Amino acid sequence: MSTASAEVRRDQALAEAAARFDTPAYVYFTETIAERLSGLRRHFGRWFAVSYAVKTNPNPALLSWMRDQVEYLDISSGGEFTLSQQAGWEPARISFTGPAKREAELRPVIAAGLGELVIESLREARLADAIAAELGLVQPVLLRMTPDRVPKGFGDQMAGRPSAFGIDIEDAPEILPQIAALPNLRIIGLHIYSGTQSLRPEAICENWRIFMRVFSQSCELLDLMPEKLVFGSGLGIPYHPGDTALDLSLITEGIAAELDAFRAQPRLAQCRLVLELGRYLVGPAGYFVTRVISVKQSRGTRIAICDGGLNANLAASGNFGMVLRRNYVMHRIGGDQGGSRAEEKHDISGPLCTSIDKLGSGVLLDRLDEGDLLAIHQCGGYGPTASPLYFISHPLPREVLVQADEVQDITRIKD
Protein backbone atom coordinates (compact mmCIF):
# COMPACT_ATOMS: atom_id res chain seq x y z
CA MET A 1 0.00 0.00 0.00
CA SER A 2 1.36 3.45 -0.93
CA THR A 3 2.00 6.07 1.75
CA ALA A 4 -0.82 8.22 0.36
CA SER A 5 -3.28 5.31 0.43
CA ALA A 6 -2.25 4.43 3.98
CA GLU A 7 -2.79 8.04 5.09
CA VAL A 8 -6.26 8.12 3.50
CA ARG A 9 -7.18 4.86 5.22
CA ARG A 10 -5.83 6.16 8.53
CA ASP A 11 -7.81 9.39 8.26
CA GLN A 12 -10.98 7.47 7.42
CA ALA A 13 -10.59 5.48 10.63
CA LEU A 14 -9.85 8.62 12.66
CA ALA A 15 -12.89 10.41 11.24
CA GLU A 16 -15.09 7.37 11.90
CA ALA A 17 -13.86 7.20 15.50
CA ALA A 18 -14.69 10.89 16.02
CA ALA A 19 -18.12 10.56 14.39
CA ARG A 20 -19.11 7.47 16.35
CA PHE A 21 -17.55 8.13 19.74
CA ASP A 22 -17.03 11.93 19.86
CA THR A 23 -13.93 13.95 20.61
CA PRO A 24 -11.43 14.37 22.10
CA ALA A 25 -10.35 10.78 21.51
CA TYR A 26 -7.25 8.62 21.47
CA VAL A 27 -7.23 6.22 18.54
CA TYR A 28 -4.84 3.24 18.60
CA PHE A 29 -3.95 1.13 15.54
CA THR A 30 -2.91 -2.44 16.37
CA GLU A 31 -1.47 -2.83 12.86
CA THR A 32 1.20 -0.25 13.69
CA ILE A 33 2.16 -2.02 16.92
CA ALA A 34 2.44 -5.32 15.05
CA GLU A 35 4.69 -3.72 12.44
CA ARG A 36 6.96 -2.30 15.12
CA LEU A 37 7.18 -5.64 16.89
CA SER A 38 8.10 -7.25 13.59
CA GLY A 39 10.92 -4.75 13.16
CA LEU A 40 12.18 -5.35 16.69
CA ARG A 41 12.24 -9.11 16.18
CA ARG A 42 13.90 -8.79 12.80
CA HIS A 43 16.75 -6.76 14.26
CA PHE A 44 17.01 -8.03 17.84
CA GLY A 45 15.13 -11.34 17.93
CA ARG A 46 18.20 -13.53 18.07
CA TRP A 47 19.06 -12.01 21.44
CA PHE A 48 15.92 -10.64 23.06
CA ALA A 49 12.39 -11.50 24.10
CA VAL A 50 10.08 -8.48 24.53
CA SER A 51 8.44 -7.10 27.67
CA TYR A 52 5.83 -4.34 27.43
CA ALA A 53 5.89 -1.62 30.11
CA VAL A 54 2.23 -1.24 31.10
CA LYS A 55 2.67 2.30 32.45
CA THR A 56 2.98 3.53 28.86
CA ASN A 57 -0.63 2.61 28.06
CA PRO A 58 -2.56 0.41 30.51
CA ASN A 59 -5.83 0.14 28.59
CA PRO A 60 -7.15 -3.40 29.28
CA ALA A 61 -8.31 -3.96 25.69
CA LEU A 62 -4.84 -3.10 24.44
CA LEU A 63 -3.25 -5.32 27.09
CA SER A 64 -5.53 -8.15 26.04
CA TRP A 65 -4.46 -7.77 22.42
CA MET A 66 -0.82 -7.73 23.57
CA ARG A 67 -1.17 -11.16 25.20
CA ASP A 68 -0.30 -12.99 21.99
CA GLN A 69 2.14 -10.36 20.73
CA VAL A 70 4.81 -10.04 23.46
CA GLU A 71 6.32 -12.49 25.89
CA TYR A 72 6.09 -10.46 29.09
CA LEU A 73 4.48 -7.50 30.84
CA ASP A 74 6.13 -5.15 33.30
CA ILE A 75 3.83 -3.45 35.81
CA SER A 76 4.64 -0.60 38.19
CA SER A 77 1.77 -0.76 40.69
CA GLY A 78 -0.80 -3.04 42.23
CA GLY A 79 -3.41 -1.26 40.13
CA GLU A 80 -1.59 -2.22 36.93
CA PHE A 81 -1.49 -5.82 38.17
CA THR A 82 -5.28 -5.72 38.48
CA LEU A 83 -5.58 -4.33 34.95
CA SER A 84 -3.31 -7.06 33.62
CA GLN A 85 -5.48 -9.69 35.27
CA GLN A 86 -8.62 -8.16 33.75
CA ALA A 87 -6.85 -8.46 30.40
CA GLY A 88 -6.18 -12.17 30.94
CA TRP A 89 -2.44 -12.15 31.59
CA GLU A 90 -0.96 -15.01 33.61
CA PRO A 91 0.88 -13.67 36.69
CA ALA A 92 3.91 -15.82 35.82
CA ARG A 93 4.53 -13.65 32.73
CA ILE A 94 4.58 -10.41 34.71
CA SER A 95 7.38 -8.50 36.45
CA PHE A 96 6.77 -5.70 38.97
CA THR A 97 9.02 -2.64 39.13
CA GLY A 98 8.67 0.58 41.14
CA PRO A 99 10.63 2.28 43.93
CA ALA A 100 7.90 2.50 46.59
CA LYS A 101 6.06 -0.81 46.62
CA ARG A 102 3.76 -1.19 49.62
CA GLU A 103 2.79 -4.26 51.59
CA ALA A 104 -0.79 -3.94 50.33
CA GLU A 105 0.52 -4.28 46.76
CA LEU A 106 3.15 -6.92 47.39
CA ARG A 107 1.02 -9.41 49.29
CA PRO A 108 -1.58 -10.09 46.55
CA VAL A 109 0.93 -10.26 43.70
CA ILE A 110 3.20 -12.66 45.57
CA ALA A 111 0.20 -14.78 46.55
CA ALA A 112 -0.96 -14.82 42.92
CA GLY A 113 2.32 -16.25 41.62
CA LEU A 114 4.02 -13.14 40.18
CA GLY A 115 6.74 -14.06 37.70
CA GLU A 116 9.40 -11.72 39.06
CA LEU A 117 9.43 -9.03 41.70
CA VAL A 118 11.99 -6.39 40.69
CA ILE A 119 13.75 -5.47 43.92
CA GLU A 120 14.74 -1.80 44.14
CA SER A 121 16.06 -1.59 47.72
CA LEU A 122 17.08 -3.65 50.73
CA ARG A 123 13.95 -2.42 52.55
CA GLU A 124 11.76 -3.79 49.79
CA ALA A 125 13.66 -7.09 49.75
CA ARG A 126 13.13 -7.59 53.47
CA LEU A 127 9.44 -6.76 53.21
CA ALA A 128 8.92 -9.15 50.30
CA ASP A 129 10.84 -11.88 52.11
CA ALA A 130 8.62 -11.53 55.17
CA ILE A 131 5.44 -11.66 53.10
CA ALA A 132 6.63 -14.68 51.12
CA ALA A 133 7.55 -16.43 54.39
CA GLU A 134 4.06 -15.83 55.80
CA LEU A 135 2.55 -17.26 52.62
CA GLY A 136 4.88 -20.24 52.61
CA LEU A 137 6.37 -19.25 49.26
CA VAL A 138 9.71 -18.45 47.69
CA GLN A 139 9.39 -15.42 45.41
CA PRO A 140 11.58 -15.14 42.29
CA VAL A 141 13.20 -11.71 42.11
CA LEU A 142 15.25 -9.57 39.76
CA LEU A 143 17.61 -7.04 41.31
CA ARG A 144 17.37 -3.61 39.71
CA MET A 145 20.84 -2.18 39.35
CA THR A 146 21.57 1.53 38.86
CA PRO A 147 24.73 2.21 36.81
CA ASP A 148 27.06 5.06 37.69
CA ARG A 149 26.56 6.80 34.36
CA VAL A 150 24.17 7.21 31.45
CA PRO A 151 25.50 8.32 28.04
CA LYS A 152 24.38 11.65 26.62
CA GLY A 153 21.38 11.40 24.34
CA PHE A 154 18.56 10.22 26.62
CA GLY A 155 15.45 12.26 27.37
CA ASP A 156 15.15 11.09 30.96
CA GLN A 157 17.89 9.59 33.13
CA MET A 158 17.33 7.34 36.12
CA ALA A 159 20.98 6.59 36.90
CA GLY A 160 24.36 8.30 37.00
CA ARG A 161 23.11 10.70 39.68
CA PRO A 162 21.06 10.46 42.90
CA SER A 163 18.11 8.26 42.00
CA ALA A 164 15.04 6.76 43.64
CA PHE A 165 15.41 3.72 41.41
CA GLY A 166 17.28 0.50 42.05
CA ILE A 167 20.51 -0.33 43.84
CA ASP A 168 23.47 1.92 43.06
CA ILE A 169 26.23 -0.16 41.55
CA GLU A 170 28.76 1.23 44.04
CA ASP A 171 26.58 -0.11 46.90
CA ALA A 172 26.22 -3.57 45.35
CA PRO A 173 29.02 -5.29 47.33
CA GLU A 174 27.26 -4.36 50.58
CA ILE A 175 23.59 -4.79 49.61
CA LEU A 176 23.46 -7.71 47.17
CA PRO A 177 24.80 -10.37 49.57
CA GLN A 178 22.24 -9.29 52.18
CA ILE A 179 19.41 -9.79 49.69
CA ALA A 180 20.87 -13.12 48.57
CA ALA A 181 20.78 -14.31 52.19
CA LEU A 182 17.00 -13.83 52.52
CA PRO A 183 15.52 -17.35 52.54
CA ASN A 184 12.17 -16.65 50.88
CA LEU A 185 13.53 -14.76 47.89
CA ARG A 186 15.26 -16.44 44.96
CA ILE A 187 17.42 -14.19 42.81
CA ILE A 188 16.93 -15.28 39.22
CA GLY A 189 18.43 -12.28 37.45
CA LEU A 190 19.00 -8.57 37.12
CA HIS A 191 17.23 -5.54 35.67
CA ILE A 192 18.44 -2.14 34.44
CA TYR A 193 16.38 0.74 33.09
CA SER A 194 18.53 3.86 33.26
CA GLY A 195 17.51 6.12 30.35
CA THR A 196 14.53 6.73 28.10
CA GLN A 197 13.58 8.38 24.80
CA SER A 198 16.87 8.23 22.92
CA LEU A 199 16.99 8.78 19.16
CA ARG A 200 20.75 8.23 18.97
CA PRO A 201 21.81 4.66 18.06
CA GLU A 202 25.34 5.22 19.36
CA ALA A 203 23.99 6.29 22.77
CA ILE A 204 21.76 3.22 22.98
CA CYS A 205 24.68 0.95 22.09
CA GLU A 206 26.89 2.56 24.72
CA ASN A 207 24.13 2.24 27.32
CA TRP A 208 23.73 -1.46 26.58
CA ARG A 209 27.50 -1.90 26.92
CA ILE A 210 27.20 -0.40 30.40
CA PHE A 211 24.37 -2.84 31.14
CA MET A 212 26.46 -5.83 30.09
CA ARG A 213 29.37 -4.70 32.25
CA VAL A 214 27.11 -4.17 35.29
CA PHE A 215 25.36 -7.50 34.71
CA SER A 216 28.68 -9.34 34.48
CA GLN A 217 30.08 -7.71 37.61
CA SER A 218 26.91 -8.33 39.63
CA CYS A 219 26.60 -11.96 38.55
CA GLU A 220 30.22 -12.53 39.52
CA LEU A 221 29.65 -10.87 42.89
CA LEU A 222 26.68 -13.17 43.58
CA ASP A 223 28.15 -16.20 41.81
CA LEU A 224 24.83 -16.15 39.93
CA MET A 225 23.88 -18.06 36.79
CA PRO A 226 20.94 -15.84 35.84
CA GLU A 227 17.74 -17.03 34.25
CA LYS A 228 16.76 -13.56 33.04
CA LEU A 229 18.49 -10.24 32.37
CA VAL A 230 16.28 -7.26 31.53
CA PHE A 231 17.61 -4.46 29.31
CA GLY A 232 15.57 -1.26 29.61
CA SER A 233 15.59 -0.40 25.93
CA GLY A 234 15.63 3.41 25.92
CA LEU A 235 14.39 3.36 22.31
CA GLY A 236 12.83 6.73 21.48
CA ILE A 237 10.22 7.93 19.00
CA PRO A 238 10.19 11.11 16.83
CA TYR A 239 7.65 13.33 18.55
CA HIS A 240 8.58 16.65 16.94
CA PRO A 241 9.00 18.01 13.39
CA GLY A 242 12.61 17.45 12.36
CA ASP A 243 13.16 14.46 14.65
CA THR A 244 14.69 11.45 12.89
CA ALA A 245 13.20 8.04 13.64
CA LEU A 246 15.58 5.42 15.00
CA ASP A 247 17.23 3.15 12.47
CA LEU A 248 17.33 -0.17 14.33
CA SER A 249 19.86 -1.55 11.85
CA LEU A 250 22.41 1.00 13.12
CA ILE A 251 21.93 -0.29 16.66
CA THR A 252 22.36 -3.86 15.46
CA GLU A 253 25.53 -2.98 13.53
CA GLY A 254 26.93 -1.16 16.54
CA ILE A 255 26.28 -3.78 19.21
CA ALA A 256 25.80 -7.20 17.56
CA ALA A 257 29.30 -8.55 18.11
CA GLU A 258 29.28 -7.52 21.75
CA LEU A 259 25.82 -9.00 22.37
CA ASP A 260 26.95 -12.25 20.75
CA ALA A 261 30.05 -12.39 22.96
CA PHE A 262 28.02 -11.52 26.06
CA ARG A 263 25.37 -14.13 25.27
CA ALA A 264 28.05 -16.78 24.72
CA GLN A 265 29.38 -16.57 28.30
CA PRO A 266 29.05 -19.96 30.03
CA ARG A 267 27.39 -18.24 32.98
CA LEU A 268 24.52 -17.20 30.67
CA ALA A 269 23.89 -20.63 29.16
CA GLN A 270 20.36 -20.83 30.63
CA CYS A 271 19.63 -17.10 30.58
CA ARG A 272 16.95 -15.25 28.63
CA LEU A 273 17.65 -11.66 27.66
CA VAL A 274 14.59 -9.39 27.69
CA LEU A 275 14.12 -6.00 26.05
CA GLU A 276 11.68 -3.91 28.11
CA LEU A 277 10.01 -1.05 26.29
CA GLY A 278 6.77 0.87 26.06
CA ARG A 279 6.49 4.08 24.03
CA TYR A 280 8.53 2.64 21.14
CA LEU A 281 5.78 0.07 20.61
CA VAL A 282 2.59 2.02 21.22
CA GLY A 283 3.51 5.70 20.81
CA PRO A 284 3.42 5.80 16.99
CA ALA A 285 0.27 3.64 16.99
CA GLY A 286 -1.82 6.34 18.65
CA TYR A 287 -3.37 9.62 17.52
CA PHE A 288 -5.07 12.23 19.65
CA VAL A 289 -8.11 13.52 17.75
CA THR A 290 -9.61 16.83 18.80
CA ARG A 291 -12.24 19.03 17.16
CA VAL A 292 -11.85 22.74 16.46
CA ILE A 293 -14.62 24.49 18.40
CA SER A 294 -13.71 28.06 17.56
CA VAL A 295 -11.25 30.00 15.41
CA LYS A 296 -10.16 33.57 16.03
CA GLN A 297 -7.60 36.07 14.85
CA SER A 298 -5.73 37.71 17.68
CA ARG A 299 -3.05 40.30 17.00
CA GLY A 300 -1.99 38.72 13.76
CA THR A 301 -2.21 35.10 14.92
CA ARG A 302 -4.81 32.54 13.83
CA ILE A 303 -5.86 30.51 16.89
CA ALA A 304 -7.76 27.23 16.67
CA ILE A 305 -9.45 26.47 20.00
CA CYS A 306 -10.15 22.75 20.42
CA ASP A 307 -12.26 20.54 22.67
CA GLY A 308 -9.18 18.72 23.99
CA GLY A 309 -6.20 20.37 25.63
CA LEU A 310 -3.69 19.69 28.36
CA ASN A 311 -6.46 18.20 30.52
CA ALA A 312 -6.77 15.36 28.01
CA ASN A 313 -3.21 15.29 26.65
CA LEU A 314 -0.66 16.68 29.07
CA ALA A 315 2.29 15.32 27.11
CA ALA A 316 1.41 17.08 23.84
CA SER A 317 0.98 20.36 25.74
CA GLY A 318 4.63 20.18 26.74
CA ASN A 319 3.88 19.89 30.46
CA PHE A 320 4.95 16.26 30.95
CA GLY A 321 8.69 16.57 31.45
CA MET A 322 9.53 18.67 28.38
CA VAL A 323 12.16 21.28 29.32
CA LEU A 324 11.71 23.44 26.21
CA ARG A 325 8.24 23.18 24.69
CA ARG A 326 8.18 21.84 21.12
CA ASN A 327 5.19 21.07 18.93
CA TYR A 328 4.21 17.49 18.23
CA VAL A 329 3.67 16.47 14.61
CA MET A 330 0.00 17.01 13.73
CA HIS A 331 -2.27 17.23 10.70
CA ARG A 332 -5.78 18.25 9.70
CA ILE A 333 -7.86 15.12 9.13
CA GLY A 334 -8.90 15.19 5.48
CA GLY A 335 -5.87 17.16 4.32
CA ASP A 336 -6.17 20.17 2.06
CA GLN A 337 -9.33 18.91 0.32
CA GLY A 338 -7.89 18.87 -3.17
CA GLY A 339 -5.91 22.05 -2.81
CA SER A 340 -8.80 24.19 -1.54
CA ARG A 341 -7.12 24.68 1.84
CA ALA A 342 -4.04 26.87 1.86
CA GLU A 343 -1.41 26.28 4.52
CA GLU A 344 -1.37 28.76 7.38
CA LYS A 345 0.34 29.08 10.72
CA HIS A 346 -1.89 28.37 13.71
CA ASP A 347 -1.67 28.38 17.45
CA ILE A 348 -3.58 25.38 18.79
CA SER A 349 -5.31 25.93 22.13
CA GLY A 350 -7.45 23.74 24.35
CA PRO A 351 -10.68 24.56 26.20
CA LEU A 352 -9.22 25.41 29.60
CA CYS A 353 -9.13 28.73 31.39
CA THR A 354 -5.34 28.87 31.59
CA SER A 355 -2.70 30.29 29.25
CA ILE A 356 -0.62 27.11 29.38
CA ASP A 357 -3.36 25.11 27.64
CA LYS A 358 -1.63 25.02 24.27
CA LEU A 359 -1.12 22.05 21.96
CA GLY A 360 0.89 23.95 19.37
CA SER A 361 2.47 27.29 18.55
CA GLY A 362 2.98 28.57 15.01
CA VAL A 363 2.03 25.21 13.50
CA LEU A 364 1.89 25.20 9.69
CA LEU A 365 -1.31 23.33 8.77
CA ASP A 366 -3.94 23.20 6.07
CA ARG A 367 -6.25 26.01 7.14
CA LEU A 368 -8.34 25.01 10.15
CA ASP A 369 -11.94 26.14 10.46
CA GLU A 370 -14.66 25.55 13.03
CA GLY A 371 -15.71 21.89 13.11
CA ASP A 372 -12.47 20.53 11.62
CA LEU A 373 -10.69 17.57 13.14
CA LEU A 374 -7.03 17.74 14.15
CA ALA A 375 -4.88 14.64 14.71
CA ILE A 376 -1.76 14.82 16.88
CA HIS A 377 0.74 12.04 16.22
CA GLN A 378 2.78 9.80 18.54
CA CYS A 379 0.08 9.76 21.22
CA GLY A 380 -0.28 6.03 21.86
CA GLY A 381 1.65 6.29 25.13
CA TYR A 382 1.32 8.52 28.20
CA GLY A 383 -2.14 9.74 27.18
CA PRO A 384 -5.24 9.61 29.41
CA THR A 385 -3.50 8.14 32.44
CA ALA A 386 -0.72 10.76 32.35
CA SER A 387 -3.11 13.73 32.06
CA PRO A 388 -5.11 15.79 34.61
CA LEU A 389 -8.42 14.55 33.21
CA TYR A 390 -10.65 16.16 35.82
CA PHE A 391 -9.15 19.65 35.65
CA ILE A 392 -12.06 22.04 34.91
CA SER A 393 -14.36 19.02 34.42
CA HIS A 394 -14.55 18.93 30.64
CA PRO A 395 -15.69 15.64 29.02
CA LEU A 396 -13.10 12.90 29.33
CA PRO A 397 -11.36 11.63 26.20
CA ARG A 398 -12.54 8.44 24.55
CA GLU A 399 -10.20 5.59 23.69
CA VAL A 400 -10.71 3.73 20.43
CA LEU A 401 -9.00 0.62 19.05
CA VAL A 402 -8.66 0.08 15.30
CA GLN A 403 -8.03 -3.57 14.53
CA ALA A 404 -8.22 -4.53 10.84
CA ASP A 405 -11.46 -2.86 9.72
CA GLU A 406 -13.07 -2.80 13.16
CA VAL A 407 -13.25 0.48 15.09
CA GLN A 408 -14.09 -0.22 18.74
CA ASP A 409 -14.68 1.98 21.79
CA ILE A 410 -12.31 0.74 24.52
CA THR A 411 -12.58 3.73 26.88
CA ARG A 412 -11.45 2.79 30.39
CA ILE A 413 -11.68 6.07 32.32
CA LYS A 414 -15.22 7.35 31.94
CA ASP A 415 -17.32 10.25 33.22
Spell out the domain ranges in the chain: 90-277, 284-409
The verdict on domain 90-277 having CATH code 3.20.20.10 is yes
Quick one: pLDDT at residue 397? 98
Contact 365, 343 (CB under 8 A): yes
Instruction: Answer whether 0.85 is exceeded by the pTM.
Output: yes
Fold observed for domain 284-409: Lyase, Ornithine Decarboxylase; Chain A, domain 1 (2.40.37)
> Is 163 exposed, middle or buried, given 0-12, 13-18 or 19+ CB atoms closer than 10 A?
middle
| Interacting residues of 308 by C-beta distance below 8 A, sequence separation 6+ | 23, 24, 288, 290, 291, 350, 351, 359, 397
Name the residue among 292, 210, 209, 295 with its Cα closest to residue 256.
209
Neighbours of 89 (CB within 10 A): 22
Catalytic residues: 353
Asked if 90-277 and 284-409 have one fold, the answer is no
Q: Which helix or strand (DSSP H or E) is residue 280 part of?
A: helix 279-282
Contact 304, 295 (CB under 8 A): yes
For the chain, the first-to-last Cα distance in angstroms comes to 39
Contact 75, 95 (CB under 8 A): yes
Residues 364 and 384: their CA atoms lie apart, in Å, by 26
From first to last of the 415 residues of the chain, give the pLDDT tens digit: 677 788 999 999 999 999 999 999 999 999 999 999 999 999 999 999 999 999 999 999 999 999 999 999 999 999 999 999 999 999 999 999 999 999 999 999 999 999 999 999 999 999 999 999 999 999 999 999 999 998 998 888 767 678 889 999 999 999 999 999 999 999 999 999 998 899 999 999 999 999 999 999 999 999 999 999 999 999 999 999 999 999 999 999 999 999 999 999 999 999 999 999 999 999 999 999 999 999 999 999 999 999 999 999 999 999 987 767 899 999 999 987 777 889 999 999 999 999 999 999 999 999 999 999 999 999 999 999 999 999 999 999 999 999 998 999 999 998 7
